[in-house]
Structure 1
Amino acid sequence: MKIVHIVRQFYPSVGGLEDYVLNLAKEQRSAGHEVVVMTLNSDFQTGKQLVEHEEHQGIKVLRLPWKGSKRYPICKPDPALLNQMDLVHVHAVDFFIDYISLLKRLGRITSPLILCTHGGFFHTKKNQWIKKLFFNVITRWTLGSVDAVVCNSSNDYSVFAPISRRAQLVNNGIRVKKFGPGTPSGSAPANDLVYLGRFSENKRLPWLIEQFAKIEHPPGHLKVIGRSKTGDAAELISLVKRLGCEEKVKLIFDVEDDEIASHIVNSKFTVSASEYEGFGLGVVELMSYGLVPFLSEEPLSFKDFVDDSGVGRIFNITSSNFKAEYDLLVGDWSPAAAVGAASYANQFSWITVAEEIFNVYETTLENSVRAYR
């Protein structure tokens, strides 16, 4: 089968969306399929211009020129190239899916079209009324010519199912212990909270740091780990200095995987105060190491992680229960809780998720053949 994945950012850019496409493409290539990733020709994180053709981990990468905003980049793939593919799989709700769906509606693209939602575009509360209007008019119209809508979380399904009868839930995939085994310090893991991911606004890292800084003599540290180019790292550095909490909060930027893994295996908990998530990939990746989740209550997937795993705690952003919940989290920890977190995460392994995605492909192709007849 010939499959093209279309996504606005890919290697060398780093993030959850990029990881998803890479791991799905690798599984599909291992299964014997011909896979191409089509993406934009610049890295949003560095501003660097990228070469048109490249191969990354055995996957062909085709990069295209674009213009406009990074939030809604204008890029027009060649319909003739897309029609050479058995399946066109678009990732995220942006110009790509709107444009390709229009071409499909006009009969210029004949290949079946799949969309993965990846949280849509509601990650922040900015311009919500405009987003909702766009979603209920343009996105609803776009999905009318999409053959299958793969929702990457229960939250996404609740959002997309009302506007598409082709919506179906296939939870995100993770690489189990993706950063490597790590090096234990020799003693028991500390009561540290680890945040790992982007520093974007919806993650509410300043709030998280402020809440942790208020705790007198906390039983552990808050470790914030990520790439400095994924948000305002300078703001976080300034905030920690202003609050005088350098001994409580550790900012760990731009380090290699083995160092990240060592921080993880010497900690007990993963934390996120995010207000919106398409899924929460970073949380489940850390749970695969046995880190127990400590999460904000707003993303539906976060509640699922705690409820379905049977471990961890939820805190409320608007109340003052962060410290109380952290104390209960520490008191509840046990080796069995760590095992429970890891066991829960294993169900999201890429082998399982890739099989579910392929089932969507097969059903879509069968429906396309029947419609043609």
Structure 2
Amino acid sequence: MRIAHVTDVYLPRLGGVELQVHDLASRQRSIGHEPIVVTTTPAPSLTEADGLARQFAHVPVVRLGDGALAAGPYRGVSHRELAHVLDGFGIDAVHVHLSTFSPLSWSAARLSVRTGRPTVVSVHSMWNDVLPLVRGYARWHGARTWPVTWAAVSTAAAAAVQEALDGAPVSVLPNGIDPDAWRRPSARRSGDVPTLVSVSRMVRRKRPRALLHTLLELRAARRFRAVLVGDGPLVPALRRDVAAAGAGADITLTGALDRPAIRDLLAGADLYLAPALRESFGIAALEARSAGLPVLARSGSGVGDFVAHGVEGWLAGSEDEFRAAIAGLLADPARLRAAAAHNRAVPPRIAWGSVLAAADQLYDRAAAPRRAGSPQAQGPSGQGPRGQGPRGRDPRTPLAGAGR
């Protein structure tokens, strides 16, 4: 199946959506699909391209909007230009990856109304805080009646999407992971100071400053080491806070780390902290849980899909509960060891095999009405039988502007 993954944000930007879209497309290629990525994120520089070639498998990428009005990775792209790409590659199914502000992705979802091409729309963010805005947009464009199959990355995220769409059905298509890739022999030694780890982008919605202040408060009564991994605009302020508190020996801000370095760090840690209130999925928390670490997260987030309270970790309902849970676990390391033993013995249910199967089921569901209406129908824009693409063009031939 030829699948177009449409996403405003993509490599060389690094973030949860960017990496998840790439990993999904790579895995789909490995099982025989022919995915491409369509994005408005500009191509990497030569230096970035060299680094990406070493880290990531090859996935064909079409980058649109060159020369158009831009704001970061976002660029204006017409329906006609997007449809030309989808037709030119003979795309069988479109997989739209949506956050909140995603002009290209919203445009691709709306395009399904005109073309009838099977379309799955995956929402990667929590819409709770922008619900009136998204609901108003959805009602204005009649999104509830679009011929698309809606999905979100977690139960919590799906509930908000369903509310925004006035009750339209929304499936759960979680982010994928290879749990075995995160397993390492424990590097913990008897007598080591407890180590707490958190991995996230250092932006307000991930709440790294609230976490840091909690750790600084606990430091007065408990001995521990904390490592906060990630880059972002809040890093300078966080480092100033650590320096002002004289906590540099106990709390480390590493900046961004690659996956092997994070795996090594998790192998020597005791507890993973996920403080975000509106975590739509929590891929870093799932990686930590796969590595055998207990996870402490906020309840109501996507982490609850793979962390049951008191089993794989703990879910705190408030900031006070979160702080009290850290203090209680530091005072009772046996609870940490019990949760870690469970996580090492029982792999998470979410893995690439189940995610790929669920994605295929969504594509089939999106295509079902079309198959029922005309089994041997024309292509999506009335340009010949399925698979031929625009007349006179080999759909496998890259269009101008396609590239890595």
User: Is 1:102 the equivalent of 2:110?
Assistant: yes
Q: Tell me which of 263, 266, 273 is aligned to 2:265.
A: 263
The one-letter code of the counterpart of 2:213 is E
Q: Identify the residue that residue 20 of structure 2 maps to in structure 1.
A: 20
In the TM superposition, what is the alpha-carbon distance from 1:179 to its structure 2 partner? 6.0
Task: Give a deviation string over 1:136-193, Cα, whole Å, max 9, x none.
Answer: 1223423532421111101111112231524112222223255674883655775211
Q: Identify the residue that residue 285 of structure 2 maps to in structure 1.
A: 283
Q: Tell me which of 223, 228, 233 is aligned to 2:227.
A: 223
Work out whether residues 270 and 283 of structure 1, in 8 Å CA contact, stay in contact via their aligned partners in 2: yes
In the TM superposition, what is the alpha-carbon distance from 1:120 to its structure 2 partner? 4.7
Q: Identify the residue that residue 312 of structure 1 maps to in structure 2.
A: 313
Q: Identify the residue that residue 301 of structure 1 maps to in structure 2.
A: 302
Work out whether residues 188 and 266 of structure 1, in 8 Å CA contact, stay in contact via their aligned partners in 2: no
Work out whether residues 42 and 73 of structure 2, in 8 Å CA contact, stay in contact via their aligned partners in 1: no
In the TM superposition, what is the alpha-carbon distance from 1:217 to its structure 2 partner? 4.7
Q: Secondary structure at the match of 2:60?
A: strand
Work out whether residues 125 and 280 of structure 2, in 8 Å CA contact, stay in contact via their aligned partners in 1: yes
Work out whether residues 6 and 37 of structure 2, in 8 Å CA contact, stay in contact via their aligned partners in 1: yes
Task: Give a deviation string over 1:279-315, Cα, whole Å, max 9, x none.
Answer: 1111111110011011223x33234444267232233
The one-letter code of the counterpart of 2:267 is V
**Distance of aligned partners of 1:198 and 1:102 in 2 relative to their CA distance in 1, 3 Å threshold:** same
Q: Identify the residue that residue 37 of structure 2 maps to in structure 1.
A: 37
**Distance of aligned partners of 1:71 and 1:146 in 2 relative to their CA distance in 1, 3 Å threshold:** farther
**Distance of aligned partners of 1:207 and 1:342 in 2 relative to their CA distance in 1, 3 Å threshold:** same
**Distance of aligned partners of 1:116 and 1:309 in 2 relative to their CA distance in 1, 3 Å threshold:** farther
Work out whether residues 188 and 269 of structure 2, in 8 Å CA contact, stay in contact via their aligned partners in 1: no
Q: Secondary structure at the match of 1:267?
A: coil
Between 1:142-151 and 1:209-218, the stretch displaced more is 142-151
**Distance of aligned partners of 1:182 and 1:132 in 2 relative to their CA distance in 1, 3 Å threshold:** same
Q: Identify the residue that residue 92 of structure 1 maps to in structure 2.
A: 98
Looking at structure 1, the residues matched to 286 and 267 of structure 2 have their Cα atoms a distance apart, in angstroms, of 14
Q: Identify the residue that residue 81 of structure 1 maps to in structure 2.
A: 85
In the TM superposition, what is the alpha-carbon distance from 1:117 to its structure 2 partner? 0.5
**Distance of aligned partners of 1:279 and 1:182 in 2 relative to their CA distance in 1, 3 Å threshold:** same
Between 1:144-153 and 1:203-212, the stretch displaced more is 144-153
Q: Tell me which of 116, 125, 132 is aligned to 2:122.
A: 116
Task: Give a deviation string over 1:22-78, Cα, whole Å, max 9, x none.
Answer: 2211221111111101112437xx999988xx9851311111225344486433443
**Distance of aligned partners of 1:285 and 1:318 in 2 relative to their CA distance in 1, 3 Å threshold:** closer
In the TM superposition, what is the alpha-carbon distance from 1:347 to its structure 2 partner? 1.1
Query: TM-score w.r.t. structure 1 length?
Result: 0.84
**Alignment of structure 1 residues 206-217 onto 2, 5 Å:** 206-215=209-218, 216-217=220-221
Q: Identify the residue that residue 204 of structure 2 maps to in structure 1.
A: 201
Looking at structure 2, the residues matched to 160 and 263 of structure 1 have their Cα atoms a distance apart, in angstroms, of 35
**Distance of aligned partners of 1:296 and 1:61 in 2 relative to their CA distance in 1, 3 Å threshold:** same
**Distance of aligned partners of 1:3 and 1:327 in 2 relative to their CA distance in 1, 3 Å threshold:** same
Q: Identify the residue that residue 135 of structure 1 maps to in structure 2.
A: 134
Looking at structure 1, the residues matched to 350 and 309 of structure 2 have their Cα atoms a distance apart, in angstroms, of 13
Which has a greater percent of strand? 1
**Distance of aligned partners of 1:325 and 1:118 in 2 relative to their CA distance in 1, 3 Å threshold:** same
Unaligned 5+ segments in structure 2 are 376-404
Larger Rg computed on CA atoms: 2
How many aligned residue pairs are there? 356
The one-letter code of the counterpart of 1:285 is E
Looking at structure 2, the residues matched to 98 and 233 of structure 1 have their Cα atoms a distance apart, in angstroms, of 32
The one-letter code of the counterpart of 1:116 is S
Looking at structure 1, the residues matched to 120 and 175 of structure 2 have their Cα atoms a distance apart, in angstroms, of 15
**Distance of aligned partners of 1:219 and 1:371 in 2 relative to their CA distance in 1, 3 Å threshold:** farther
Between 1:185-194 and 1:287-296, the stretch displaced more is 185-194
In the TM superposition, what is the alpha-carbon distance from 1:264 to its structure 2 partner? 0.9
Looking at structure 2, the residues matched to 104 and 41 of structure 1 have their Cα atoms a distance apart, in angstroms, of 22
The one-letter code of the counterpart of 1:37 is V
User: Is 1:153 the equivalent of 2:154?
Assistant: yes
Q: Identify the residue that residue 175 of structure 2 maps to in structure 1.
A: 172
**Distance of aligned partners of 1:212 and 1:325 in 2 relative to their CA distance in 1, 3 Å threshold:** same
Q: Secondary structure at the match of 2:195?
A: strand
In the TM superposition, what is the alpha-carbon distance from 1:255 to its structure 2 partner? 3.5
Unaligned 5+ segments in structure 1 are 123-127
